[in-house]
A and B are shown apart, each in its own frame.
Chain A
Amino acid sequence: MNLLLGQILNGIATGMLYALMGLGLSLITGILNIPNFAHGALFAIGAYLLVTTVGLIGNFWLALLIAPLGVAALGLLIEYAGIRRLYAAGHDYQLLFTFGLALILSEGIIVVWGPVGFSHLPPPILRGGVDLGFTFYPKYRLFVMVVAGLLVLATWLFLEKTRYGAIMRAGIENKEMVSLLGIDIHRLFTAAFALGAYLAGIAGALTAPIRGINPNMGVDMLGIAFVVVALGGLGNLLGAIAAGLLIGVAQAVVAAYWTEASTAVIFAVMALVLLVRPQGMFGIR
C-alpha cells in the first residue's frame, strides 16, 4: 500500500511535468494552428542546456533560470525565421518543417553532446529525502511538484488575468477578429511560440535531475505531449492538468507492477479514453 502511495506521488510529479509540456504545446497548436513536431526536441534542448549551464557556472538555480530562456530564444528564432513563412501552407508542409527541425535538433544533440546519455544530480540542498509518514520521499521530486504547480498557476494567471493573456485566448478562438481589432497577430504568434518553447524548456530542465538526459528524451516526450493535448483539448488549461496527471499517475502505478508496459500504458490510456469519449475528456473542439 505504501509502495502504491509513493508511486502515486511520483505520478503526480511527472504528471505536472506532462501538464507543462501539454500546456505549451496546446498554446502553440491552438494559437498558431500548426502541428509542432519540434516540441519534444525543445524539451530535450532544455534539459541539455541546464546540464551544460550547471557545468559552466556551477549554480543550479541560475541555470534553471537561464536554460529555459535559452529555449524560448530558440523558439523565437524558429517562429521568426521559419514558421512565419508557412502559415498559408497546408498542415502537411508545416508538419514536415517542424519534423525536419526535430531531426536537426535531436541529431544536433548527438553531434554536440554525444550519443550516450548521462545522469545529473540535483543541487546538494535538494538531495536525499524526507519522511512523509507513509513513505520516505526524494526532496527533489517534491521540489519539482511545487515548481511545476507554480508554473501552471502562473500560466493560468497570465492567461486569465492579464490583458495579453486575454488576447492570446482570443487568438485561439478567432484569429481574424483579433487581427481586425488592431492587434499585431504576428507578434502574438511569436510570443505564443516563445512561451510554449519556454514551458517545454523548463519541463526539460526540471526533468534532467530526475531521469538524466539522453538523445531520445525529446521524441518520447513528444508523444506524451500529444496525448495530453488530444485528451485535454486545445488551449484548455484545466484539461492539460487533468490529462497530464491522469497519464502520469497511470504510468507510475503500472510501473510498480509491470515495468515493461509503463510507457505503452500512456498511449493505451489515451486509446481507452477516446474509445469512450472520442471528443476527449472535456469535449472542447
Chain B
Amino acid sequence: MKNPLVLLLGAIVLLPFVVRPVIAAEIWLFAIFGLGLNLLLGYTGLLSFGQATFFGSAAYVAGWLLKHYAINVFLALGIGTGVGALSALLVGYLCVQRSGLYFIMLTFALNQLFFFIAYQWTSVTGGEDGMPGVPRPAFLGIDFKDPMNYYVFVALLFLASLWVMRRVVESPFGKILQAIRENEVRATAVGYNAPRFKLAAFVIGGAFSGLAGVLYAMLFGIVPLEAIGFVASGNVVFATLIGGSGSLYGPVIGSFVFIWLSESMSVVWERWPLLLGVAFVIVVLFFRGGVVEAWSRFWRWQSSRQRA
C-alpha cells in the first residue's frame, strides 16, 4: 500500500490473465467513469445522480459516427469527450443553481429527459434494442478487434486519465473545488464564484464520462439503452462510494470491486440487480466509508496490535 502506482501497474499487467480481457477492459473504462464522478462527489461535494447522461450521450453520438461514417478512433474519442462535456454543461447549468436534495433530484430528472429521448428516438438509437454494429477500427495498423490490443489501449487511456485527474485535483483550481466542498459560504466570501467552479467541475467530469462511454460502445460493439439509464448513474455512485470517495484511487478500487461483483452475480441469477440492491443496503448499513477506509482501519488495528 506504500506506492499505489506500482500496485496499479502490476494490476494492469496481470489482470487480463486473470479475467477475460473484455472484463478487464471494462474495469478500467469504468474507473475512468468513476474518476469523472469523483471530481464532483469527492472533491466538490456534489452528489450527481445523472452521470449516465454524459456517458450515454457520448456513446450514442460517437458510436453513430463510427458506424455510419467510419471515423478514426481518436476522432471518435475526441468527439465523445466533447459531447460528454457539452451535455454536462447543459445539465450542470440548470443543476448548480440549486443545492442539497434539490440538486440530486434535478440531476436524476434531467437524466430521465435524456433517457426518454434515447428511448423514443428509435431511428437513431434503436430504442430498447440498443444501437448495435459499433465498429472498432484499426489505427496505424494496430488491430483493435484483437481483445488484448484493445485492452492495452483502454488501460493506457485510463493511466492518462488518472494522470490528468491528478493534475486537476492538485491544481489551484482543484483546491478551490475542495474549499467549496468544505465551506461554500466561506469560499464565496473569499471571492470565488462557487456556481461557476461547480459548473467547471461538471464539465470536466462530463468529459471523463464521455470518454468512458465511447470506450464502452467500442468494447461491446453496441450502445444498449441501459448506458444512458439511471441504473448506470447509480452504479458509478455505488462504485465510487465502495472504493471511498475521499481519495484519487477510491473510484479505481471501487470499479474493480463493482465490475467483479456484478459480473459474478449476473452469472448466478438473472435477477441479479436484486442482489445488487441487497449489496447496496448491506454496504450502507454496515460498511460505510468504503474499501479504502476499511483497509486503513485494518492497518491501524494491525499496527496497534504490533505495538502492544
By a beta-carbon cutoff of 8 Å, the part of chain A in contact with chain B is 29, 33-35, 37, 82, 85-86, 89, 91-93, 95-97, 99-104, 107-108, 110-111, 219, 222-223, 226-227, 229-230, 234, 260-261, 263-264, 267-268, 270-271, 274-275, 278-279
Interface membership of B97, Cβ < 8 A: yes
CA separation between A93 and B293, bound complex, in Å?
Answer: 15
Q: What are 25 inter-chain pairs, A to B, with CB distance below 8 A?
A: A33-B101, A34-B101, A37-B108, A86-B284, A92-B237, A92-B241, A95-B237, A100-B277, A100-B278, A100-B279, A100-B280, A101-B277, A102-B277, A103-B231, A107-B277, A108-B274, A111-B274, A223-B112, A226-B105, A226-B108, A229-B102, A234-B102, A260-B120, A267-B116, A278-B98
User: A35: which B residues are within 8 A, CB to CB?
Assistant: 101, 104-105
**From B41, B102, B230, residue with most partner A Cβ within 10 Å:** B102
CA separation between A91 and B119, bound complex, in Å?
Answer: 29
CB nearest neighbor in B for A85: B285
Cβ–Cβ contact B241 & A271, under 8 A: no
User: A102: which B residues are within 8 A, CB to CB?
Assistant: 277
With A82-B281, A100-B280, A260-B120 known as contacts, the answer to whether A95 contacts B288 (CB < 8 A) is no
Interface membership of B276, Cβ < 8 A: yes
Interchain residue pairs A-B with the least CB separation, the first 10: A100-B280, A103-B277, A267-B113, A107-B274, A223-B112, A104-B277, A278-B97, A226-B105, A264-B116, A97-B284
**From A33, A82, A226, residue with most partner B Cβ within 10 Å:** A226
Instruction: Tell me whether chain A's interface is mostly helix, strand or loop, or mixed.
Output: helix
Interface membership of B307, Cβ < 8 A: no
User: B49: which A residues are within 8 A, CB to CB?
Assistant: 95
CA separation between A222 and B49, bound complex, in Å?
Answer: 13
Cβ–Cβ contact B109 & A267, under 8 A: yes
User: B64: which A residues are within 8 A, CB to CB?
Assistant: none
CB nearest neighbor in A for B280: A100
User: B281: which A residues are within 8 A, CB to CB?
Assistant: 82, 97, 100-101, 104
User: A279: which B residues are within 8 A, CB to CB?
Assistant: 97-98
Cβ–Cβ contact A271 & B47, under 8 A: no
Query: Apart from A33-B101, A100-B277, what 14 extra A-B contacts exist at CB < 8 Å?
Result: A85-B285, A92-B245, A97-B285, A99-B277, A103-B273, A104-B278, A104-B281, A111-B271, A223-B112, A226-B106, A263-B119, A264-B116, A267-B116, A274-B94
- Least distance between B273 CB and chain A CB atoms (Å): 5
**B258-300 to A contact mask, C-beta < 8 Å, 1/0:** 0000000000000101101111110111001000000000000
Interface membership of B110, Cβ < 8 A: yes
User: B288: which A residues are within 8 A, CB to CB?
Assistant: 89, 93
CA separation between A34 and B101, bound complex, in Å?
Answer: 7
- Least distance between B247 CB and chain A CB atoms (Å): 15
CB nearest neighbor in A for B238: A96
Cβ–Cβ contact B277 & A270, under 8 A: no
CA separation between A83 and B241, bound complex, in Å?
Answer: 18
By a beta-carbon cutoff of 8 Å, the part of chain B in contact with chain A is 41, 47, 49, 94, 97-98, 100-102, 104-106, 108-110, 112-113, 116-117, 119-121, 230-231, 234, 237-238, 241, 245, 271, 273-274, 276-281, 283-285, 288
CA separation between A235 and B288, bound complex, in Å?
Answer: 30
CA separation between A111 and B269, bound complex, in Å?
Answer: 11
CB nearest neighbor in B for A219: B230
Cβ–Cβ contact B241 & A96, under 8 A: yes
Cβ–Cβ contact A91 & B101, under 8 A: yes
User: A96: which B residues are within 8 A, CB to CB?
Assistant: 234, 237-238, 241, 280, 283-284
CB nearest neighbor in A for B121: A260
Cβ–Cβ contact B280 & A261, under 8 A: no
CA separation between A33 and B102, bound complex, in Å?
Answer: 11
CA separation between A95 and B237, bound complex, in Å?
Answer: 9
CA separation between A271 and B104, bound complex, in Å?
Answer: 15
Cβ–Cβ contact A270 & B109, under 8 A: yes
With A226-B108, A264-B113 known as contacts, the answer to whether A97 contacts B280 (CB < 8 A) is yes
With A96-B241, A103-B280 known as contacts, the answer to whether A223 contacts B101 (CB < 8 A) is no
**From B94, B109, B271, B276, residue with most partner A Cβ within 10 Å:** B109
- Least distance between A219 CB and chain B CB atoms (Å): 7
- Least distance between A186 CB and chain B CB atoms (Å): 17
Cβ–Cβ contact B277 & A92, under 8 A: no
CA separation between A95 and B230, bound complex, in Å?
Answer: 13
Cβ–Cβ contact B109 & A223, under 8 A: yes
User: B120: which A residues are within 8 A, CB to CB?
Assistant: 260-261, 263-264
User: A274: which B residues are within 8 A, CB to CB?
Assistant: 94, 97, 106
CA separation between A98 and B135, bound complex, in Å?
Answer: 38
User: B284: which A residues are within 8 A, CB to CB?
Assistant: 86, 89, 93, 96-97, 100
CB nearest neighbor in A for B42: A92
- Least distance between A156 CB and chain B CB atoms (Å): 23
CA separation between A103 and B232, bound complex, in Å?
Answer: 12
CB nearest neighbor in B for A260: B120
- Least distance between B298 CB and chain A CB atoms (Å): 21
